[in-house]
């Protein structure tokens, strides 16, 4: 019969195997592929001659690096906007919704019942030349003809991504606010703090970890986003995720695509590390 320790080991095994096989191993595989000297599709029977030439191919091309910078900047804008917009939503759920909080939370999650692709496609209908926004602008006399810039532009990508991520960003903030001990707010009120002071002095700092988590949760997937720019971005909006996809697909250059993916992974990790350190420093001071 299994002892308690062995039983716990057995219990822990499936999640460890799951993570190792489906999260860590693919990343290791991408790193290994990126070290192959030949750019083409990988034949695992080939001899193993690791090289950094694929990394050099990315790093020596200014257009690729610029795309990485633009994508990171767009992801930051989307993450900041989604977090800021999600914050009052989460605040309402945590402090104002009362008994109906559960109902509103379910309503908040309703968009997730619809496929990501469909939600993005819906924005094509909204932003198109004959879409809802252009029709509205013309009907109220603000414009004489459809605005071209609404669809197939960088702005359209940012707008669509913000819409997609707001409900998602609200969840960690709501969770952080739910953990705030209401007695601290009462104590602040007893000490004469008004609503604004209570918010700035108690609610905001205690909910900050949730907001930071939301920021990262939106930022990380947005850097590598390729579906949304493909659908609403147009020829002038090309994101780094599309570059990686093109290397693996159109160019059949798996090794170059692997190197591009690893570079993005490292950059994202560095930015997140820097962000985390900055927040910790601020909280500590």
Report yes or no: 71 and 221 within 8 Å, Cβ to Cβ: no
Residue among 246, 265, 267, 272 that touches another protein (CB under 8 A): 246
DSSP structure class, residue 110 = G
With contacts defined by CB under 8 A, how many residues of the chain interact with another protein?
51
55 binds another protein (CB under 8 A): no
Per-residue interface string for the shown chain with another protein, residues 136-175, x marking contact by CB under 8 A = ------------x---x-----------------------
Binding range to another protein, per CB under 8 A, among 91-99, 176-184, 211-219, 252-260: 252-260
| Ramachandran assignment for 152, one of left (phi > 0), alpha (psi -120 to 50 degrees), beta (any other) | left
183 binds another protein (CB under 8 A): no
98 binds another protein (CB under 8 A): no
Report yes or no: 172 and 79 within 8 Å, Cβ to Cβ: no
Residue entry with tokens 């601020």:
282
Q: Which is nearer to another protein, 235 or 285 (CB)?
A: 235
Residue among 167, 210, 224, 233 that touches another protein (CB under 8 A): 233
Binding range to another protein, per CB under 8 A, among 108-116, 164-172, 177-185, 226-234: 226-234
Q: Which residues contact 71 (CB under 8 A, 6 or more apart)?
A: 223, 224, 225, 239, 240, 241
Planar angle of CA 230, 232, 237, nearest 5 degrees: 65
Q: Which is nearer to another protein, 171 or 243 (CB)?
A: 243
d(CA 92, CA 98): 9
The encoded tokens of residue 98 equal 């009362």
Cβ atoms within 10 Å, residue 167: 19
Per-residue interface string for the shown chain with another protein, residues 21-50, x marking contact by CB under 8 A = x--xx--xx--x------xxxxxxx--x--
d(CA 41, CA 255): 7
Residues that bind another protein (CB under 8 A): 5, 8-9, 12-13, 16-17, 19-21, 24-25, 28-29, 32, 39-45, 48, 61, 63-64, 66-67, 128-130, 148, 152, 230-231, 233-236, 238, 242-243, 246-254
């Amino acid at each position: 019969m299994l002892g308690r320790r062995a039983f716990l080991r057995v219990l822990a095994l499936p999640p460890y195997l799951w993570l190792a096989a489906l999260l860590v191993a693919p990343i290791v595989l991408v790193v290994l592929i990126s070290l192959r000297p030949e750019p083409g599709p990988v034949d695992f029977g080939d001899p193993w001659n690791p090289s950094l030439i694929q990394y050099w191919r990315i790093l020596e091309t200014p257009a690729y690096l610029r795309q990485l910078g633009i994508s990171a900047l767009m992801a930051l804008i989307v993450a900041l906007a989604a977090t800021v917009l999600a914050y009052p939503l989460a605040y309402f759920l945590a402090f104002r919704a009362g008994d109906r909080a559960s109902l509103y939370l379910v309503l908040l999650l309703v968009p997730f019942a619809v496929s990501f692709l469909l939600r993005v496609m819906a924005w094509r209908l909204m932003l198109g030349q004959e879409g809802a926004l252009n029709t509205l602008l013309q009907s109220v006399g603000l414009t004489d003809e459809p605005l071209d810039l609404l669809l197939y532009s960088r702005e359209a990508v940012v707008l669509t991504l913000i819409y997609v991520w707001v409900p998602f960003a609200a969840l960690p903030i709501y969770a952080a606010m739910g953990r705030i001990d209401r007695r601290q707010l009462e104590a602040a009120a007893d000490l004469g703090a008004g609503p604004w002071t209570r918010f700035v002095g108690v609610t905001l700092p205690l909910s900050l970890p949730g907001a930071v988590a939301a920021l990262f949760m939106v930022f990380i997937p947005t850097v590598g986003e390729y579906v949304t720019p493909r659908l609403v971005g147009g020829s002038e909006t090309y994101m780094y995720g599309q570059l990686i996809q093109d290397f693996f697909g159109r160019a059949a250059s798996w090794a170059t695509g692997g190197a591009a993916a690893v570079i993005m992974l490292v950059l994202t990790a560095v930015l997140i590390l820097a962000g985390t350190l900055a927040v910790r420093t601020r909280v500590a001071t």
